[in-house]
Structure 1
């Protein structure tokens, strides 16, 4: 993908993935790689920050003899994700209008 992800977009993608169902880090990174060629190591500071901001919580679950850390979204995380999604929709509409040759309405 040609377009880089900024911090709010990365937050939106991570929260949107986890809002659908709890997920572990590698799983989240593979989904996000559909939109941007990011390294797995880029994701973990974002997850940690979102957790520190109380948008995510974690729990461990046993998988093939090892603990796997899962992320789950909090109520404040859902609210933040919804606000980012609304902002993305507004932004996307403006970009689409410009790309299609439109002028400001």
Structure 2
């Protein structure tokens, strides 16, 4: 059974990757896929939504006669990433307790 990832957590994953470097769509999808299972058809709507919400900006760079669209995290995206990261830490701690990591056994 695969655990489904929420859209907020997927947003956090994308924003976290873009904290370190800008990526074009396909390379960003591959980077995310190194850790979680996500399809290209899932990623592009996420990128469009993040851009629409001013969490990402884009720019084009020529590559072998074509343009690649690169995604860059914005200042607002960095703030949103920190909020998602904090929420994740609380959620992860709660789940870890229920799954037996750090549970006090009476």
Give CA deviations for 1:48-98 in whole Å, capped at 9, x if unaligned. Answer: 010010000000011122100000011000000010011101111111111
Distance 1:4 1:34, change over 3 A: farther
In 2, Cα distance between the equivalents of 1:17 and 1:27? 11
User: Which residue of the partner structure matches residue 38 of structure 2?
Assistant: 38
User: Which residue of the partner structure matches residue 6 of structure 1?
Assistant: 6
Deviation, 1:32, is 1.4
CA contact 1:3–1:36 (8 Å) conserved in 2? no
- Say what the alpha-carbon RMSD is for the aligned residues: 1.5
Deviation, 1:36, is 2.7
In 2, Cα distance between the equivalents of 1:33 and 1:17? 12
Structure 1: state its 5+ residue gaps: none
Structure 2: state its 5+ residue gaps: none
Deviation, 1:34, is 2.7
SS at match of 1:20: coil
TM-score of the aligned structures, taking structure 1 as reference length: 0.90
User: Which residue of the partner structure matches residue 21 of structure 1?
Assistant: 21
Q: Paired residues, what number?
A: 103
In 2, Cα distance between the equivalents of 1:9 and 1:68? 26
